[in-house]
């Protein structure tokens, strides 16, 4: 018996959540956009009206306003989106415990075992859409299929507020005529290579020689060939059994370019604090630190360094990042964007080497107690309730 998989995709999620607080913008073209004064003027989401003007996600505000001069913009509120994401997934969990979030606004659900209680896959999808609309005032599109890939493509097929069912009987007529760009996991570069070989639609990919596609694109070529033919047995994970994160990072484009070691240290401390806090929240530590630097000419370098012992402490992450920067960057050169990432993660309780110097062990324990106390204060009073002194009143646009 086939599985019944749903892919639920919120419609214009950030914009829809903001419209709950800005109902006066509901019938106007609007978008969620970063602050242009902080050089974050990028469109993050838009409503359906703005979409009709050609406004697209990831373009700059000035590009969007050339298409739509009347575009209204509001700033993003990521904590609000996380809150609504939790509420939405809580609704999904009423129907099945097999709920696998794919992003803040997308989730897969395996409702194979839920049909005796709630009806067919399509019926469950429609009930979920109505429930989310009635309880939260938001809309979503749902794909219903026998595997995760086609369920995802079904949710993309018709928007907004729609259910699309892709079955073994109809997937060739629905999906195969689509442009190869519409195939999940086929990016622009892959699409170009396939086009060069005369493969322009999903159906042409499905009917092509798998060995030829694999020789051209490597292992991933064989994977997308299988996907185009409906061959995907990837399971939906239970909500409480999600895969461990593989890295945790934080980066930003600064209000002004960083100039000199003091600026860089301020930025590194603020970013490292967030990374360390997220590590502790996930109950993990990092065996390595990676730094990505972008200069004003948009040149990017990436360097990393391994640690003798895993850590989730700000000072150690920041000191390691500064060591990386000093070794690989001329400190007098300007920095436009900086990202600090904790890599090679492990469980926080994993055994580690004890230092020969007992003072180092004591300092590490004290540091962890202090930073966990900071975590508790932030949970109770907000993320801005306590900061490292060097980050307070910075003028580089660094938000904790």
Active-site residues: which are they? 106
User: Is the separation of the CB atoms in 82 and 104 below 8 Å?
Assistant: yes
CA atoms of 69 and 71, how far apart (whole Å): 6
358 three-class SS = helix
Closest CA relative to residue 89, chosen from 64, 117, 108: 108
Query: What whole-number distance in Å separates Cα of residue 377 and Cα of residue 350?
Result: 26
Residue 196 has a CB neighbour count (10 Å cut-off) of 9
Q: Per DSSP, which regions of the chain are E strands? A: 5-10, 30-33, 43-46, 72-74, 99-103, 106-110, 140-145, 163-166, 248-258, 284-294, 300-311, 335-347
Q: Which residues pair with 293 in a beta bridge?
A: 301, 338
Sheet with 99-103: strands ordered across: 99-103, 106-110, 5-10, 140-145, 163-166
């Amino acid at each position: 018996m086939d599985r019944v998989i749903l892919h639920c995709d919120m419609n214009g999620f950030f914009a829809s959540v903001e419209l709950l607080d800005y109902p006066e913008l509901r019938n106007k073209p609007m978008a969620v956009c970063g602050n242009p004064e902080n050089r974050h003027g990028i469109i993050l989401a838009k409503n359906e009206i703005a979409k009709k003007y050609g406004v697209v996600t990831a373009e700059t505000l000035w590009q969007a306003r050339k298409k739509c001069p009347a575009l209204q913009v509001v700033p993003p509120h990521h904590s609000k989106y996380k809150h609504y994401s939790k509420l939405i997934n809580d609704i999904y969990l009423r129907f099945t415990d097999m709920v696998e979030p794919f992003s803040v606004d997308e989730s897969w659900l395996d409702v194979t075992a839920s049909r005796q209680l709630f009806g067919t896959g399509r019926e469950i999808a429609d009930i979920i859409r109505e429930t989310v609309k009635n309880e939260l005032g938001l809309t979503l599109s749902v794909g219903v299929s026998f595997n995760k890939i086609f369920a995802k493509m079904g949710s993309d097929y018709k928007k907004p507020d729609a259910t699309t069912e892709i079955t073994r009987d109809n997937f060739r007529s629905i999906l195969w005529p689509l442009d190869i760009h519409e195939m999940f996991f086929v990016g622009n570069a892959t699409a170009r290579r396939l086009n060069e070989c005369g493969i322009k639609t999903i159906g042409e990919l499905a009917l092509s020689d798998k060995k030829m596609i694999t020789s051209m694109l490597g292992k991933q070529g064989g994977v997308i060939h299988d996907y185009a033919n409906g061959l995907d047995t990837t399971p939906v994970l239970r909500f409480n059994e999600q895969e461990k994160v593989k890295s945790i990072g934080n980066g930003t484009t600064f209000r002004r370019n960083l100039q000199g070691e003091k600026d860089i240290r301020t930025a590194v401390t603020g970013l490292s604090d967030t990374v360390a806090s997220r590590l502790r929240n996930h109950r993990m530590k990092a065996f390595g630190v990676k730094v990505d630097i972008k200069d004003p000419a948009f040149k990017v370098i990436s360097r990393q360094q391994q640690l003798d012992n895993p850590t989730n402490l700000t000072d150690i992450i920041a000191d390691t990042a500064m060591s990386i920067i000093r070794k690989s960057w001329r400190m007098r050169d300007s920095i436009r964007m900086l990202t600090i990432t904790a890599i090679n993660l492990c469980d926080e309780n994993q055994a580690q080497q004890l230092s020969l110097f007992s003072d180092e062990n004591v300092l590490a324990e004290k540091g962890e107690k202090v930073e966990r106390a900071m975590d508790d204060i932030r949970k109770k009073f907000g993320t801005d309730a306590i900061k490292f002194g060097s980050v307070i009143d910075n003028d580089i646009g660094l938000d904790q």
